[in-house]
Chains A and B, each alone.
Chain A
Amino acid sequence: MTAARPRTSRDAIRAARAADGQSGTTPVASRVSGVPADPRSAGAPGKLRRGEAGSSVIIRRIRPGRAVVVASIVLVIAVIVGTAVGPADLSPLQVLDAIATKLPWHGHPAVPALDSAIVWQIRLPRVVLGVLVGSMLAGGGAAYQGVFRNPLADPYLLGVAAGAGLGATLVVVSGASLTLTPPAAFVGAVGAVALTYLLGARAGRAGELPAVGGGTSSILLAGIAVAALLTAFQTYLQQQHTQTLAYVYAWILGGLSAASWSDVLLILPYVAVAAVALLAHRRLLDVLRVGETEATSLGVNVPRLRLTIVIAATLGVAAAVSVSGLIGFVGIIVPHAVRLTAGPSYRVLMPVSMIGGAAFLVLADVVARTAQAPAEVPIGVITALIGAPFFLFVLRSRRARQAES
């Protein structure tokens, strides 16, 4: 016998054939391993036990549980720190008291009106806005990275930043009311992505995989072209109106210093819809990890899925940048940090990126307003200062891991 101890029926058959001098397509033992008939898998519903019959397999549910809990704890700490830290010297207890005064089921501790106003009208809206913006930038970045299967994708990939910048600049240089800046930035951002998609998807139809709806590369290239075009317009306008240069430049650098509850309410509907939609698609983002062709053959309508996710991510990111300006690096470093620590499955990546992005932006904002107090460092500078070194770290560890395998 060539195989002394056959492990499986296959080995047994092969051994038997070898012993018998046969080969080719001989009839095979009728071991039916159809699912319902397989006694090992038909056992205890839901949970399979390893060890039974030697090789039964357990497939665990992918649960983001622990990573979500850890990220949520970090977010709660970030929110507490973000509310407690500021130029006015309030102790954490005073802050808690100030918060408590507005809670309906609580008594009314004697809190100076000024303290209450600082916490409720200045710090809390700023922190809450940071949470919304950070979650959208990181969640949008993760979504774009998944849908374009490109680790370098960020939420501004398809022209959101250039469009928002142009919209905001138009309002400022035209002398219109500055309250129009957020809506104009939002319209510019959404319009830029729509333009990118129209041009890119149309170009893709003449490309190589038309039945799958055009490759992603034509959309990415269209995004680069649209961003360059809109940025050129924006730069031109900015140079023609030097008296508003500083304001426009500050807007583009981004920041949360002008945050108010009305900003929060303005973007909340978009953020809520985008967050729900992105979280709902996290399993399908995992299917896209095997590429468009295979995702299609597995039963996914890839062009429609891609468009749905891009719309959701774009609405959320456009809403975020319309009130915060163009804060960089959050959308690229947070998803990568989550990948490294919690794993690459979008079932974990999407919720944890959103929570982590919120925490990161709130903490970066704390640094932005305390590092040079009473002046503020633009938050985009802080996120890049942390972001750029981190990005190098991501690249290094990625290379190290590839070298291992």
Chain B
Amino acid sequence: MIGFDGVTVRYGACLALDAVAGQVTNGEWLALIGPNGAGKTTLLGAITRLLPYEGVITVDGNRVTGLRRRELARLIAYVPQRPVLPPDMTVSEYVLLGRTAHIGYLGTETDRDRRVCAAAIDRLDLGRMADRALRAMSGGELQRVVLARAIAQDAPVLLLDEPTSALDLGRRVDALELIDEIRRERALTVLSAIHDLTLAGQFADRLMLLSDGRIAVSGSPAEVLTDAILTAHFGPSVQVLTTDTGELAVVSRRAQR
């Protein structure tokens, strides 16, 4: 479980997060939504302790500030929005990096580490590409490679920053479907920042709308994805439609002239 209370982050004079409080329960998928600059990425950065913050953040009851880096990395696997992908690195070398927190400081990976990585590569259907260099892979494949590294990290919490932003419409659903399957198989707790409100509503258990560094609304997709709430934070061009199967779709509309 992730808990955060009174979390405040400043970039110089700019207040990026203002006393944000909330929690993600075990096995839950919480999606952070909100306009650009609302503080979604900043909150993920604070939870992984990549940014300095005020307030209290706990993972499984441990304050993250009291944990060493490797202890934190065993609890939280983090997939940044634009991961660094060394072009010369092969898929298996890259996925092995996920085991860093499980390998002794000056040690080398064990057979078990290699097995964990092989299983992660297999799970993401990258078996045929294990020895391929990252430069020779498509955006969708790279996204699965990054996920494989996160899975190999073997942490109970998965933090995803815009996991679908680099993908085309069809691949977005595929990617989120895969994340959903894996989190159920492994009982992972997922916290993701996601721009696409329709997909956020379809996949996440709960949505948390951040706006100007504060939590505006938090609740089930049906509670959050309403015309009133969304137009208040995203502007009048946003509209919520209900499909004939009862799903919510959030669309952008051009102003009537």
Is the C-beta of A46 less than 8 angstroms from some C-beta in chain B? yes
Interface string of B117-130 (1 = CB under 8 A from A): 11101110111101
Which residues of chain A (347-405) have a CB below 8 Å from chain B? 405
Is the C-beta of B14 less than 8 angstroms from some C-beta in chain A? no
Q: How far is the CB of B108 from chain A (nearest CB, A)?
A: 6
Residues of A with C-beta under 8 A to B112: 35
Report whether A59 and B106 are in contact in the complex, using a CB–CB cutoff of 8 Å: no
In the complex formed, the residue of B with least CB distance to A8 is B125
Report whether A57 and B130 are in contact in the complex, using a CB–CB cutoff of 8 Å: yes
Partner among B49, B92, B128 whose Cβ is within 8 Å of the Cβ of A59: B92
Report whether A298 and B97 are in contact in the complex, using a CB–CB cutoff of 8 Å: yes
Residues of B with C-beta under 8 A to A56: 118, 122, 127
Bound-complex Cα distance A84 to B126 (A)? 54
In the complex formed, the residue of A with least CB distance to B116 is A35
Which residues of chain B (152-206) have a CB below 8 Å from chain A? 153, 174, 177-178, 180-181, 184-186, 202-203
Say yes or no: A299-B83 contact (C-beta < 8 A), given A28-B180, A405-B136. no
Partner among A40, A289, A301 whose Cβ is within 8 Å of the Cβ of B89: A289
Report whether B50 and A296 are in contact in the complex, using a CB–CB cutoff of 8 Å: yes
Residues of A with C-beta under 8 A to B96: 59
Report whether A283 and B84 are in contact in the complex, using a CB–CB cutoff of 8 Å: no
Say yes or no: A287-B127 contact (C-beta < 8 A), given A48-B118, A211-B50, A343-B88. no
Stretch at the interface among B31-39, B65-73, B233-241: B65-73
Say yes or no: A299-B184 contact (C-beta < 8 A), given A25-B203, A48-B115, A210-B52. no
Partner among A31, A58, A293, A300 whose Cβ is within 8 Å of the Cβ of B118: A58
Report whether A211 and B52 are in contact in the complex, using a CB–CB cutoff of 8 Å: yes
Report whether A33 and B100 are in contact in the complex, using a CB–CB cutoff of 8 Å: no
Which residues of chain A (282-305) have a CB below 8 Å from chain B? 283-284, 286-287, 289-291, 293-301
Partner among B69, B98, B135 whose Cβ is within 8 Å of the Cβ of A301: B69
Interface string of A25-41 (1 = CB under 8 A from B): 10110111111001011
Report whether B119 and A35 are in contact in the complex, using a CB–CB cutoff of 8 Å: yes
Say yes or no: A45-B111 contact (C-beta < 8 A), given A23-B202, A345-B93. yes
Interface string of B63-90 (1 = CB under 8 A from A): 0000011111110111010011111110
Bound-complex Cα distance A209 to B49 (A)? 10
Which residues of chain B (18-66) have a CB below 8 Å from chain A? 48-52
In the complex formed, the residue of A with least CB distance to B243 is A23
Report whether B88 and A344 are in contact in the complex, using a CB–CB cutoff of 8 Å: yes
Is the C-beta of B114 less than 8 angstroms from some C-beta in chain A? yes
Report whether B106 and A299 are in contact in the complex, using a CB–CB cutoff of 8 Å: no
Residues of A with C-beta under 8 A to B125: 7-8, 10, 55
Partner among A24, A287, A297 whose Cβ is within 8 Å of the Cβ of B48: A297
Partner among A57, A211, A345 whose Cβ is within 8 Å of the Cβ of B121: A57
Given A57-B117, A297-B48, A297-B77; 20 other pairs, CB 8 A cutoff: A13-B177, A25-B180, A27-B184, A35-B116, A41-B119, A42-B115, A48-B114, A56-B127, A208-B11, A211-B49, A281-B106, A283-B103, A283-B109, A290-B85, A294-B78, A296-B50, A299-B69, A299-B70, A299-B72, A405-B87
A-B contact pairs, 7 of them (CB 8 A): A13-B181, A25-B180, A55-B122, A62-B93, A296-B69, A297-B73, A299-B71
Interface residues of A (CB under 8 A from B): 7-8, 10, 13-14, 21, 23-25, 27-28, 30-35, 38, 40-42, 45-46, 48, 55-62, 208-212, 280-281, 283-284, 286-287, 289-291, 293-301, 339, 343-345, 405
